[in-house]
Copies of this chain bind each other. A is one copy, B any other.
Amino acid sequence: MIVLFNCTCAVPTTMDSFHPVPVKVNPDLQKERDAALFNPVELTYLKDGGKDKTERRRRCELLAINDPDLQHKDISFMARNERYSNAVRKAVIIARKIKEHRLTNMEEKQLYISAATQYDTYGFGLHYGMFLPALSAQCDEEQRNYWLPLAENLKILGTYAQTELGHGTFIRGLETTAIYDPKTEEFVLHTPTLSALKWWPGNMGKTATHAVVLAQLYTNGKSYGLHPFIVQLRSLENHQPLPGITLGDIGPKLGFHSFDNGFLGFDHVRIPRRNMLMKYSQVSPDGFYIKPIHAKLTYSTMVEARVTLVSDIAYSLSQAVTIAVRYSAVRRQTEQIKGVKEPQILDYRTQQLKLFPYLAAAYAFTFTSFVITGRYIEVQNEMNDGNMESLSELHALSAGLKAFTSYVGNEGIEVCRLSCGGHGYSQASGFPELYTLTAPISTFEGENTVMLLQTARYLMKCATTAKRGLELPRFVLYLSQRQKGQCPARNESDLLDHGLLSDAFEHRARRLVIEAAQKMQSNIGKGNPQHVAWNNCHMYLLKAASAHCHFYVVQTFVKYINDTEMSDAVRDILTSLCQFYALHGIWQNAGDFLQDGYMNGNQLDMVQSLVGKLLDKIRINAVALVDAFDFRDEILCSKLGKYDGNVYEAMYEWAKNSPLNKTEVHDSYNKYLRPLMQSSKAKL
């Protein structure tokens, strides 16, 4: 790949050269870095996928970080209106800069945008993330030639309008209609009920001029289900909503404050026939419907989105543990021996027990995201050759992993926040923005519970296939293997064996999948219809799907270490992390391993004891492990997680800029407090 940067900056290739030289580094943090048993930059290369990728990422990031045009005051100090304006302003600058820097490669663009927006949302996020891809994927050639240049050159700004006020994940229930009128060769888009209002699409409230709208297609009096239509929402002259279109912002949310998630209603809005995106389905001028060859093609976009989310979660979780681990090295608390300095809170077992499971998970999820991204590319290539076989397998895997990792990710960010005590609650810590940005992943691109049930549905099919002795895809092959009797571990060192640990998770997953299948069968045997039995078995199905995903992550972590070239020092620490991830998982889900006697109480005692021992092995490398995530302060946006560890100075400087500190005496004093306090003569 040829890098065409329009800049001459040297590429930083060590840890130290990437971060600006601090005046002083907090000595506790320096001590941690000096004591680490491996070189973090080596691990950075691994988690980026190679030294060249690290260099490219750093180059893209520095391009944004060092650009004076992209600087502004902390978004925490802006009201929502100002945040929205700022996001639009930056989006416009970013568009211009991408051209200037000649960033043509998609990955580089994304790296650059991500660094330029920092921890805020991107003002044209839906345009680039959904509108353009939808056009690319669903336009026929003539349509592509017309729409893509307009969208790529930002002559129009788009969004993707699917979700409605009354329907989200269950998309068949969407109510917006597109009725074909052969007389005028137009579709009539209409919002038949209040609950049919499009609701939530990003950038739709105030920004977008166009939308790809999902609506129920009717032609010749017949319903053909959901189809995509491109609809102009606002005038290109003055940005006013077009006649028949009701449009607005849906109001403030837990986060995403810079984002104008919108509502959209149609009052019999007419669009030309050719505004239906016609790559797969068509409606002829006289209203004849031509159906697509592969129904599955439309849902490969969802699979892609979920695959991407797994790496997004790994990224957010990495940020959270970076902040918390660094702060825990700097923060000292509670004198243990009179007169002796208070210990670093990172030395407390309780703190380690909070942070290290998520530190391990951040790496586990990073490696997992490699594997499913790779698998997605394979399946994509197969599909391009007309082979759809693996799509449902990947769909089941990506749905489950998205749910499993986002659950752990959100929980982990909150645990990290809480591990910083009260300061985690301040926006200076970076956690509030991080949490509120990551939290909606649990509901968007498919609600997590529904996702796990989709995985479960696939697993139930596989269990039946296995029972019949038929072949299964690789990642569920274990379901057709015989259940092992008992965990063979006799002592602690047996329990450190990666193979044995992976087997334990395999056993648990298989048992829970088979148990769920049996419960389904017995429920149906009692005369319940399929959907009732399914509902009755939800608790078994969720557990099965989750155990399956957990096993997949453990197995992938193990395999990554086995198959990847790395120095002994890095292998050593990753091995400990992987052991810890698995053993901690057993400890936390002990019931699942004990219930059928696969493990016994004695083995579980050993598990618990090993969890304690591994904390020490991770402890010494903890700061280096988070340094290896390689976040510049400008991207981490946390005063607690600063690379130089000068935490309190940074918090104080930040607080001084709080808008409430603009004046020593707030307006409300003269308006409200003074009259109250001086209502009769003060007695002081």
Contacts and interface: CB of A to CB of B under 8 A. Distances in A.
Interface in A342-370: 342, 347-350, 353-354
A251 B155 contact: no
Given A163-B422, A240-B665, A682-B236, A76 B251 contact: yes
A249 B660 contact: yes
Interface stretch (A424-432, A479-487, A548-556): A424-432
Contacts of A207: 673
A677 B250 contact: no
Given A448-B418, A648-B166, A665 B595 contact: no
Contacts of A604: 591, 595
Nearest to A81: B659
Interface in A316-339: 333-337
Contacts of A303: none
- Number of copies of this kind of chain in the complex: 2
Contact of A80 (B154, B353, B659): B659
Interface stretch (A305-313, A461-469, A649-657): A649-657
Interface string A82-106: 0011001101100100000000000
A410 to B, nearest CB: 8
Contact of A684 (B155, B200, B414, B682): B155
Nearest to A194: B648
Contacts of A673: 88, 92, 157, 207, 239
Given A252-B658, A611-B539, A95 B676 contact: yes
A475 interface: no
A605 to B, nearest CB: 8
A90 B671 CA distance: 12
Contacts of A239: 665, 669, 673-674
A264 to B, nearest CB: 12
A609 to B, nearest CB: 9
Given A449-B350, A682-B236, A668 B89 contact: yes
The dominant DSSP class at the A interface is helix
B334 A170 contact: yes
Contacts of A536: 349, 612
A197 interface: yes
B665 A238 contact: yes
B154 A677 contact: yes
A671 B655 CA distance: 30
Q: Which of A91, A239, A432, A667 has the most CB of B within 10 A?
A: A239
A31 interface: no
A195 B535 CA distance: 55
B92 A676 contact: yes
Interface stretch (A40-48, A375-383, A436-444, A622-630): A436-444
Contacts of A539: 349-350, 353, 608, 611-612
A538 B353 contact: yes
A187 interface: no
A131 interface: no
Interface of A: 76-77, 79-81, 84-85, 88-89, 91-92, 95, 149-150, 154-157, 163, 165-170, 172-173, 194-195, 197, 200, 205-207, 209, 236, 238-241, 247-255, 260, 263, 333-337, 342, 347-350, 353-354, 414, 418, 421-422, 424-428, 431-432, 435-436, 439-440, 442-444, 447-449, 453, 531, 535-539, 542, 587, 589-597, 601, 604-605, 608, 611-612, 648-649, 651-652, 654-661, 664-669, 671-677, 682-684
